[in-house]
Amino acid sequence: MRGRMLKTERHNATLILTLDRADKRNALHPGLIAALRAALAQADRDASLAAVVLTGAGPSFCAGLDLSHLLSLDADDQIAYMRAFFGLFQLLYTLQQPVIAAVNGPAMAGGFDLAAACDIRWCAPQAKFAQTEVLLGIGRADGPDRREGRSQVRRAPSGALPRQQRSTDG
């Protein structure tokens, strides 16, 4: 486990959160989930933020849960891990700012769910989506239909997205 798993940058009124575990395809380790939850909670309290962008380092957006770590845990710790993961969705659903998933590559399993929980998904040409857990008979973790009154698509204020996140492909 690396010490820092989440990179945070602020560009004007936009907070960019980068899952920074490229060597593990940005798998959601409990430490990364905790860092994401803390960053989102802080963003929710910051009225000067207009939008939050969530992306992945390297060629992947997110591979979902860190299965090698999950399998190393006892049953109680596995349950705590899953509760923390599902708690992340509640923060995304209730955040006062729109959350934009800048999907830069594969979004698999829980990574698919993470992107789906965001208000807007902005996808690079190499973005791929898969719900691999259905092969095991497990349904998706959660999804946009659970938003209870929150708009499916929200417009970010003009100029809220930093230039390096904008596509030049039209």
- The predicted-structure confidence for 89-139, as pLDDT tens digits, reads as follows 999 999 999 999 999 999 999 999 999 999 999 999 999 999 887 776 666
User: What's the predicted TM-score (pTM) here?
Assistant: 0.80
Contact 25, 106 (CB under 8 A): yes
| Per-domain residue ranges of the chain | 6-147
Tens of pLDDT, residue by residue over 11-22, are: 999 999 999 999
**Cα separation, 170 vs 104, whole angstroms:** 16
Eight-state DSSP code of residue 65: B
Express each pLDDT in 50-81 by its tens digit. Answer: 999 999 999 999 999 999 999 999 999 999 99
Question: Which pLDDT value is given to residue 55?
Answer: 98
Active-site hit among 20, 66, 113, 133: 133
Residue 2 in this model has a pLDDT that exceeds 80: no
Q: What class is the 6-147 domain?
A: alpha beta
Whether 133 sits among the annotated catalytic residues: the reply is: yes
Please list, residue by residue across 43-77, b when 16 or more beta carbons sit within 10 angstroms of its beta carbon and e when fewer do: beeeeebbbbbbbbbbebbbbbbbeebbeeeeeee
Contact 61, 104 (CB under 8 A): yes
